[in-house]
Structure 1
Amino acid sequence: MSDLGALLRKAREEHGLSLEDIQETTKIRKRYLEAIESGDHSILPGSFYLRAFVKNYCEAVGLDPDEVLRLYQHEVPAVVAEQNNVEPVAARAPRRVQSRSSERFGRLGFNLLMWLFLILIVVVVWIYFVNQKGDDSKQIDDTKMTDRASQAPASTPDPNSAGGSTTPPPSTPPPAAETTLTFTTKQGKVDHYDVAPANVPHKLEIKVSGGPSWTEVRKGGSTGEKLYSGTIQDGETKSYDITEPLYVNVGRADLTVISVDGIVVNDGDLARSKKVQLNPVKVEDTAGGNAGDAAGGDEGAQQ
């Protein structure tokens, strides 16, 4: 196995990916991926394809492709364009031959094009005037409705009503509870966070900036249903509703910002992978806490 192949295989295994996952992400055949890891480049189509395959492989596992190609240029040489030593021979310009029929058809085509252009101009002008007329009619109707509304008599309070009271103003709705993100535990390499308050919709956003980053999102945990697995390009954002625990695994934490309702999750901001799991607080957990507080208050009152 070559040094380059060992590096790529180690990065793949650190992300918990198989060759089938890399094949699905990069669309490169598995036998080519095995040849790159083993260092057997003889079965690859050529050096150009080798560099392209290595670059896609690096992006899939969160490595910098330019840096990898620079460090292992002895294994992946740059493509050198073949130079032809034969002096170019000036080609003889073909003799232009036109028949009378071709010239006639050329004139007919030109005339037809001119007529079509004139018809297009007439249609555009007609559509413009029709739309202008419709806008004027709508403006007149809006003016009439405004005049009628201004002339309508204002309603007067009924003197026979009790106390002549007026309708009370509508009550102002209570402000929405703010989202809180609490670190609870670390299981293996996964940081667990509680998302509160309960019974409130929350939004997860994964934004990549500065370069591509491989990302995986699963429902329920690291072995749950796969919602997304692939490379998020620079400037792209993925969003998911947090209705149940979501597991997030990013290849480059320094290029990725994970946030919940605008609150940024601390991912270390390092050039390596990061795994977090977001657990929404359940309604029964909140109800249990309130019931415990109420019981404690009753015991204090009895004492």
Structure 2
Amino acid sequence: MSDLGALLRKAREQRGYSLDDIQELTKIRKRYLEAIEEGNYKVLPGSFYVRAFVKNYSETVGLDAEEVLHLYQKEIPSAVPEQVVEPIQRPRRAQRQSSDRLSRWGFRMLMWSFLLLIAILVYVYAIAKPGGDNVDSADQTKMTDQTKAPEGTDNSPAQTDNNTNKPVEGSKDTNTVPVTPDPDPVPTVPQTTLTLEKTTGRTDYYQVSPGGTHKIEFKVTGGDCWVGINQTSSKGKILLSKTLKDTETASLDVEGPVYLNMAHANKAEVTIDGVLIEDGNKTGSHKMQLTPAAGTETPNAPVTQTE
């Protein structure tokens, strides 16, 4: 067995894949996969396909295909174009452009509705509703006339203190206008932002604010896909490692820095607190490093993504 074959086999066994599983995911025949692990490249249809098969195998087991090809370039036969014997069969990519467009419009409508609701609340409580000190003087006069006792009786309205609305000492009756206290101000909910800081290779680095707990969710469409979440970084504790079938989902509540990894990014959607993280439908493996912004510990709120 070659060094490259040993590396691929170890990565496959760590994820609990059999050669039949790899054959199903990559559409590469099992005897070719066995030949790659044994380093017997003569069995493959030609040197032109060796690199393609190795790259596809590496991505399926969660390895960086470009790094694998670079490290073992001396072992892998040079890619010389040859007559096509057996084309690589790839799963048909799901057409999700219309659904993505609807998702973006739905998010925009939600944000505009939220802003409109805030504006209405501010108008109702701060502008339209009068305070206790703005009662119309004509209404006060009318109320006084209605409660005034007939001449010759002692049931005249009680005199009150203008500042406290309490009856003046010695008065026989009270007739005060109740003052409605101002309502509590509407709390402002801070928005969570997701900012793309840089992209290195197949890894995107995002800064998330505010901090606190966030819900990460994967949804697979168009085939099988392995997904994983590590705590802090790519070498941190494994929080999630799972192969999702078509239409399956997986979610996890996380706090602090996390590292996301997908074997077939074009088959998986990633959302944080229900908002889609755009990845351009990249084929092959795709990684994301999510790091909370410094000094933010505010609980979760609606999420926006900026670049």
Higher helix share: 1
Q: How high is the TM-score relative to the length of structure 2?
A: 0.43
- TM-score normalised by the chain length of structure 1: 0.44
Query: Higher relative contact order by CA 8 Å / sep ≥ 6: 1 or 2?
Result: 2
